[in-house]
Structure 1
């Protein structure tokens, strides 16, 4: 797995908009944050060009991202928001120059599409909060402070450890492997494609937002039927936020659905990890080897 170069003061960080649009006002908090880190923000050309719900038509969004992918002066790419649209760009993007000059990719949710691409290319990336999350002023920066500090540490070459409280539903155990995964809906949408997430021997991270319980069950069964749950070294379950049920109840919670599906396997499982569509969405380095341990007292993730 290739690790992109870490950043140094004065480096340029590109802000890309591969999915939904963002407003100039919503960008202000992250521009100030980047400058406070002694980095230079560079905006993709399409970033303030809304087209329906997107930040421009597909070719325009792809061209904006491609320009920063290929620019050797850009040391990291931070997607300003998710929503929907990243998967529509894959047929338009060329990662050949990026492979020769890799840089950090930051984001989550819809950006899982690009995490999957980079996992298949053997390049590490960072599952992390996005600028849109910082635009919920006046509380957002405080709500995300720990996650932002950890993200800064990673970008500049440190590897902060993660420890969080255990839950009664957790399955104890330990594993040593690379992290992979992201948003469940996007992992599901890429099953069977050349961009399907590689999970064998790895620690899989999943999270999601605004889904029905039956659909979570369906998506996870698809992952299982594709063999993506069978050979894991561990499973980390982040936020499943704003989950819905039908008028006739589905009958199982998210935790119950997951525990039933992984019952044949013996790897550790940790719920309520601080990642996903939540406050303090803690950054995770996809592709980086880590020790993962789940005990009755706590859950820990320590990078190697």
Structure 2
């Protein structure tokens, strides 16, 4: 699915509304890579907080899933709404001509759905965030993966890390979204996987409740490895929960033996490195830092 100069990349919004002006910085960057940018009808559309009605967002995404001349689909932003349109999408033509589907946050639902169907996708920065200060590395990591360049990541050690090595398919994304799709047709088997998690704007007790649920569903016990990204803008109640986000996660994973890497640069901060969902990877968590690299392409 590697891109080359002259290829078409579509921008659609599967969730919250966006304006053409908000997309322009990303369009300029994508064009500088030699790509032809095509905008969906959802860019500039409005239906309350959404980028058009469910029917419009679904048909817009379906159009580009079906169009073999479009080599990648870039979701404009997150927010809320992607899960509302998943069950009526048809992936028949997409299966004949797979392409990158790119985004994060609310787009986690789409990544999970694609993984369940057997396709890789790309958890990466979205156009709404291209102008954000400090996003240069995130944008460059997206470019490298889109154009098939080799990429691996090294991150500093963290006090909470659990050392070890793991190999498995890389899966995950936004914890709140993964939590809400359990039991749906987008849910998938976590056993033997390297799971990565991030979240934004959640109460600490919500985070605890979601992790309890994942654990009770058997999602954590047979992981190969765990990567914890940004837990941004967490909230607390008047009576404090008593632990921060990383402490909560450490508690719920302490009974298992798989390696855990904390503070990986993925999530709702500017330094949001691109990750290939569904691709086999190797994670090494050592005393001097952590390393993530891909082993094979599907």
TM-score by shorter chain over 0.5: yes
Runs of 4+ that moved beyond 4 A:
none
TM-score normalised according to structure 1 size: 0.95
Long gaps (5+) in structure 1: none
Residue 294 (str. 1) matches residue 290 (str. 2): no
Describe the SS at the equivalent of 2:130: helix
Aligned position for 1:109:
105
Q: For the residues of structure 2 that align with 1:197 and 1:129, how far apart are their CA atoms?
A: 24
Aligned position for 2:229:
238
List per-residue Cα deviations over 1:181-228 (Å, max 9, x = no partner).
Answer: 000000000011121133110100000000000000011111111111
Deviation at 1:258, TM superposition (A): 1.1
The answer to whether the Cα contact below 8 Å between 1:181 and 1:197 also exists between their aligned partners in 2 is no
Aligned position for 1:121:
117
Aligned position for 1:98:
94
Deviation at 1:254, TM superposition (A): 1.3
Q: For the residues of structure 2 that align with 1:6 and 1:134, how far apart are their CA atoms?
A: 21
The answer to whether the Cα contact below 8 Å between 2:14 and 2:61 also exists between their aligned partners in 1 is yes
Residue 282 (str. 1) matches residue 273 (str. 2): yes
Aligned position for 2:34:
38
Aligned position for 1:67:
63
List per-residue Cα deviations over 1:224-243 (Å, max 9, x = no partner).
Answer: 11111111110000000000
Aligned position for 2:153:
162
The answer to whether the Cα contact below 8 Å between 1:59 and 1:92 also exists between their aligned partners in 2 is no
Q: For the residues of structure 2 that align with 1:291 and 1:38, how far apart are their CA atoms?
A: 32
Deviation at 1:151, TM superposition (A): 1.1
Residue 85 (str. 1) matches residue 85 (str. 2): no
Aligned position for 2:143:
152
Cα root mean square deviation, aligned = 1.0
Partner residue of 2:186 out of 187, 195, 200: 195
How many residues of Structure 1 are paired with residues of Structure 2 in the alignment? 295
Residue 269 (str. 1) matches residue 260 (str. 2): yes
Aligned position for 1:24:
20
Q: 239-248 or 40-49, which moves further after superposition?
A: 40-49
Q: For the residues of structure 2 that align with 1:258 and 1:159, how far apart are their CA atoms?
A: 31
Describe the SS at the equivalent of 1:110: helix
Deviation at 1:60, TM superposition (A): 0.8
The answer to whether the Cα contact below 8 Å between 1:187 and 1:197 also exists between their aligned partners in 2 is no
Residue 131 (str. 1) matches residue 127 (str. 2): yes
The answer to whether the Cα contact below 8 Å between 1:182 and 1:205 also exists between their aligned partners in 2 is yes
Alignment of 1:243-262 (within 5 A): 243-262=234-253
Q: For the residues of structure 1 that align with 2:152 and 2:159, how far apart are their CA atoms?
A: 22
Q: For the residues of structure 2 that align with 1:159 and 1:86, how far apart are their CA atoms?
A: 30
Q: For the residues of structure 1 that align with 2:19 and 2:184, how far apart are their CA atoms?
A: 33
Deviation at 1:159, TM superposition (A): 2.8
TM-score normalised according to structure 2 size: 0.97
Deviation at 1:92, TM superposition (A): 2.5
The answer to whether the Cα contact below 8 Å between 2:170 and 2:193 also exists between their aligned partners in 1 is yes
Q: For the residues of structure 2 that align with 1:39 and 1:57, how far apart are their CA atoms?
A: 29
Residue 55 (str. 1) matches residue 55 (str. 2): no
The answer to whether the Cα contact below 8 Å between 1:180 and 1:287 also exists between their aligned partners in 2 is yes
Q: For the residues of structure 1 that align with 2:33 and 2:285, how far apart are their CA atoms?
A: 34
Q: For the residues of structure 2 that align with 1:238 and 1:30, how far apart are their CA atoms?
A: 24
Partner residue of 2:294 out of 286, 300, 303: 303
Long gaps (5+) in structure 2: none
